[in-house]
Structure 1
Amino acid sequence: MARGWPVTLSDGHVGVRPLVRRDAGAWARLRAENREWLTPWEATLPPGEGSVPESYTGTIATLRRRAREGTAMPFAVTWAGDMVGQVTVNSITRGSAQFASIGYWVSRSHAGRGVTPTAVALVCDHLFTRAGLHRIEISIRPENAASLRVVEKLRFTEVGLAPGYLHIAGQWRDHRVFQILKEDVPEGLLTRLREGRRAD
């Protein structure tokens, strides 16, 4: 089991909690309603590598197995208690790296409300404290303005461009790579986010 997992976190109306089987209905509805909004940014498998599970059952089974192995933390993102998206911590690496990557999506109906930056900040703070990680990475396609706004608000550091980083929609796509280190945010990422909002 991943260190610091399972956990439920919240700030105001925004919360993150472990994905569970009973989320199947809400997950399927959100994915159907937001297909056009999400599909351009989501990883696919290249020919010959099978297919990414499209059902919630397949997805949650894979994520729960990875959580048991200590390499992932699959969170539902909630607004006032209702599921509106997902934050997934992937590739948790221990040893000398103490690293993880984060991916996220939110329903278009809740985009622009600060839900995703708050959810990501909650998760990062947890990873730096209870989970004991040192570095968190987020990789984003250069065309994904909404996702880039999240790392801008959280003041992640851009470390470079990764050509052909992920297979998406039939092609290998470039990604901009961002990171944050534990020592970058001694006050915590959620505190940084709140201070940035007050300064706007």
Structure 2
Amino acid sequence: MSSPDNPGVTVRILREEDAEPLARAVSANRAFLQPWEPIRDESYFTTLGQSRLIDDALLLYAGGVLLPCVILVRGELVGRININNIVRGALQSGDVGYWVAESHGGRGVATAAVTGMLKIAFDSFNLHRIAASTMVSNVRSQRVLAKTGFERIGLAPDFLYINGAWSDSILFQKINPDYYG
């Protein structure tokens, strides 16, 4: 799905053939992403490692608990965006997580991708609520969430184990205004 705000940005479901471009992207952005991610095994940065992650993600997608997507700018893979931990029943919720290559930062790509993913999550998956969290120091991601209508709802101490340490996270949510339960 292309973003109406940034027509060069597309969000689509992850595919097997994304393994090689993803391996290139995570390798090229290894240092840039390191402060915001868990410590990665060396295999993560290989085509085989990405292929295994894609296989796992597509199984979870088939099971309805993950919406795994890639972010493309004019056809070039520049990041990932997922709705993780999809829960149905009384909750009807999921958690958004994303990253964009350093070379495409500051151009509205993440904002367009989150906007597109919200449309998919709300319109196609009929989710009521999307949650997000950022490390306290990740001001850029907090701006993306604010621009896309997320509201800050709290602070979670020692929330995620990132880059070898427990980190505090700011919690956000966006409620689907058109939810039809």
- Superposition TM-score, scaled by structure 2 size: 0.89
Match of 1:181 in 2: 175
2:161 maps to a residue whose letter is H
1:155, distance to aligned residue in structure 2 (A): 2.8
Gap runs ≥5 in structure 1: 1-8, 46-50, 187-200
Match of 1:133 in 2: 127
> Are the equivalent residues in 2 in contact too, given 1:44–1:52 (CA < 8 A)?
no
Q: Paired residue for 2:31, among 29, 33, 36?
A: 36
Match of 1:59 in 2: 53
> Are the equivalent residues in 1 in contact too, given 2:38–2:164 (CA < 8 A)?
no
State the distance in 1 between where 2:139 and 2:53 align.
26
Aligned residues: 171
Match of 1:10 in 2: 2
SS at match of 2:38: coil
1:43, distance to aligned residue in structure 2 (A): 3.0
Q: Paired residue for 2:145, among 151, 162, 165?
A: 151
State the distance in 2 between where 1:64 and 1:53 align.
19
1:117 maps to a residue whose letter is T
Match of 1:106 in 2: 100
Match of 1:25 in 2: 20
Match of 1:84 in 2: 78
SS at match of 2:158: strand
> Are the equivalent residues in 1 in contact too, given 2:132–2:172 (CA < 8 A)?
yes
1:30 maps to a residue whose letter is A
1:59, distance to aligned residue in structure 2 (A): 1.2
* Identity across the alignment (%): 36
State the distance in 2 between where 1:131 and 1:106 align.
23
State the distance in 1 between where 2:39 and 2:91 align.
27
1:44, distance to aligned residue in structure 2 (A): 4.6
Q: 1:88 to 1:134 in 2, by over 3 A?
A: same
1:79, distance to aligned residue in structure 2 (A): 0.4
1:176 maps to a residue whose letter is I
C-alpha RMSD over aligned residues:
1.6
Q: 1:91 to 1:169 in 2, by over 3 A?
A: same
Match of 1:171 in 2: 165
State the distance in 1 between where 2:122 and 2:13 align.
18
> Are the equivalent residues in 2 in contact too, given 1:72–1:91 (CA < 8 A)?
yes
1:52, distance to aligned residue in structure 2 (A): 9.7
SS at match of 2:125: coil
> Are the equivalent residues in 1 in contact too, given 2:135–2:168 (CA < 8 A)?
yes
1:58, distance to aligned residue in structure 2 (A): 2.1
SS at match of 1:10: coil
State the distance in 2 between where 1:130 and 1:79 align.
22
Gap runs ≥5 in structure 2: none
1:40 maps to a residue whose letter is P
